[in-house]
């Protein structure tokens, strides 16, 4: 099979690494990829939202399957684009069509979906410019802090946690009337704050059957001890020690099954990954959000523990017989430490030469914001590398990944040295 993978982050590096191990994959192409994905396949300089460009790549390279890494092309309808095209119709796309991608593309849609299918979630209401006064009336009724969410995609920045009603009022005004997050905040979901510990569970579905992939916890804040600004993700661990079998049973019964059944009942086709962001509130799962793709940097830790052939599983998704495919997960623990550029998540340094990758001993180095400049590997993005280690226990995995990160150097290099240590 010739496979095209769309994306250029650490998640896609991990996908490329795993796909390249499969003897079902003849040729792997990554568009646009990064300096690391080039080790596992051929990078092609086409952007993930350039559907016409992607079509040309698919036709020129006799692609038999497309795996979509990031959410944007899914929300923009890349799967629908394939289905509507005479020449692409029979090339399976792993990732939902536009309607299913609304689980991530619209927080209002996803909240209403949860309500319709009795999936436990924080109480909430959605407001627009026209109903802002009703929003002001609602704010004092849901307790503090108050969570405001821009309805649409906002590159991970559209969620605000307000400590007072006045602050929430001010933010609501800015979101609805001053387009604080552009078009994404023309609708705002106002939501009760959930107290608990966060984790993510990943599901792969062919629209009828599903497989539950390993759970993971990610670390979003830039600073050690979970302080400072939010980022795209500074590290992850899998499995999550506080997600007991009993808790995961509840997740399956209360969240996963109603989600898959709900999609079916509503006639929403869904072939792809579902990221379920949860809060563990005193042993009970509550939904925070859906994503219509895998998370980054959770994918790096999750795929490290996947012993089965990923391409076989994806083929099961494409053919609608995922129930006949084997899912085997390692009992070991995977930890990922993300190395970022100086200044990130603000204005950050670029074009710095990376050295020392060859000194890494017990981890896999997944590239994110990197590119090749002649023989040099240079930084291009905020998140530069993800260092993932698989070991017999969590302490060793964390220690190894952290030690290996410190063997790599570039000007301004930074990573958190405390990823996962709160879980020990």
Residue 288 found at the interface with ligand AMP (CB under 6 A): yes
Nearest approach, Cβ of 122 to ligand AMP (angstroms)?
Answer: 4
Q: Choose one: 193-201, 331-339, 355-363, 382-390; the region binding ligand AMP (CB under 6 A).
A: 193-201
Nearest approach, Cβ of 192 to ligand AMP (angstroms)?
Answer: 6
Check: CB of residue 377 under 8 Å from CB of residue 357. yes
Check: CB of residue 381 under 8 Å from CB of residue 305. no
Q: Choose one: 7-15, 191-199, 322-330, 396-404; the region binding ligand AMP (CB under 6 A).
A: 191-199
Q: According to CB under 6 A, which one of 66, 122, 263, 365 is a site residue for ligand AMP?
A: 122
Structural tokens at position 378? 């240079």
Please, which of residues 144-173 interact with ligand AMP by CB under 6 A?
Answer: 147, 149, 159
Among 69, 61, 30, 67, smallest CA distance to 46 is for 30
Nearer to ligand AMP, 62 or 141 (CB): 141
> How many of the chain's residues bind ligand AMP (CB under 6 A)?
11
Residue 284 found at the interface with ligand AMP (CB under 6 A): no
CB count within 10 Å of CB 21 equals: 12
Nearer to ligand AMP, 103 or 310 (CB): 103
Residue 83 found at the interface with ligand AMP (CB under 6 A): no
Structural tokens at position 351? 């074009």
Nearer to ligand AMP, 110 or 389 (CB): 110
Residue 12 found at the interface with ligand AMP (CB under 6 A): no
Q: Choose one: 91-99, 187-195, 259-267, 332-340; the region binding ligand AMP (CB under 6 A).
A: 187-195
Residue 191 found at the interface with ligand AMP (CB under 6 A): yes
Contacts of 399 (CB under 8 A, 6+ apart): none
Please, which of residues 37-76 interact with ligand AMP by CB under 6 A?
Answer: none
Site residues for ligand AMP per CB under 6 A: 122, 147, 149, 159, 191, 193-194, 198, 277, 288-289
């Amino acid at each position: 099979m010739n496979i095209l993978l769309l994306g250029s982050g650490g998640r896609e590096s991990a996908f490329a690494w795993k796909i390249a191990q499969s003897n079902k994959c003849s040729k792997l192409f990554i568009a646009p990829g990064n300096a690391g994905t080039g080790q596992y396949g051929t990078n092609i300089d086409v952007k993930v939202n350039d559907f016409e460009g992607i079509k040309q790549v698919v036709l020129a390279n006799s692609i038999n399957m497309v795996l979509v890494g990031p959410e944007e092309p899914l929300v923009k309808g890349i799967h629908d684009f394939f289905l509507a095209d005479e020449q692409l119709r029979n090339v399976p796309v792993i990732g939902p069509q536009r309607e299913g991608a609304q689980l991530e593309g619209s927080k209002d849609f996803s909240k209403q979906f949860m309500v319709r299918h009795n999936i436990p979630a924080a109480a909430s209401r959605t407001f627009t410019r026209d109903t802002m006064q009703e929003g002001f009336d609602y704010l004092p009724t849901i307790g503090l802090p108050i969570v405001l969410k821009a309805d649409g995609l906002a590159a991970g920045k559209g969620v605000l946690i307000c400590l007072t009603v006045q602050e929430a009022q001010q933010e609501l005004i800015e979101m609805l009337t001053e387009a604080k997050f552009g078009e994404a905040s023309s609708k705002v979901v106002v939501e009760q704050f959930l107290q608990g510990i966060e984790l993510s569970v990943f599901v792969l579905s062919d629209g009828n059957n599903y497989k539950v992939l390993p759970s993971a916890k990610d670390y979003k804040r830039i600073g050690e001890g979970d302080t400072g600004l939010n980022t795209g993700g500074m590290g992850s661990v899998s499995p999550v020690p506080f997600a007991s079998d009993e808790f995961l049973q509840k997740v399956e019964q209360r969240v996963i099954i109603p989600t898959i059944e709900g999609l079916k009942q509503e006639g929403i086709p869904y072939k792809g990954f579902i990221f379920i962001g949860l809060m563990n509130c005193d042993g009970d799962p509550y939904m925070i959000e859906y994503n219509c793709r895998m998370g980054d940097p959770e994918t790096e830790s999750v795929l490290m523990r996947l012993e089965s052939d990923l391409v076989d599983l994806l083929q099961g998704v494409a053919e609608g017989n995922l129930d006949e495919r084997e899912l085997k997960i390692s009992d070991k623990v995977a930890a990922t430490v993300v190395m970022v550029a100086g200044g990130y998540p603000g204005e950050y340094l670029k074009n710095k030469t990376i050295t020392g990758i060859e000194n890494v001993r017990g981890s896999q180095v997944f590239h994110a914001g990197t590119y090749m400049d002649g023989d040099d590997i240079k930084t291009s993005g905020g998140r530069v590398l993800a260092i993932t280690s698989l070991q017999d226990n969590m302490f060793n995995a964390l220690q190894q990944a952290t030690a290996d990160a410190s063997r790599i150097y570039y000007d301004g290099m930074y990573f958190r040295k405390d990823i996962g240590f709160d879980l020990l």
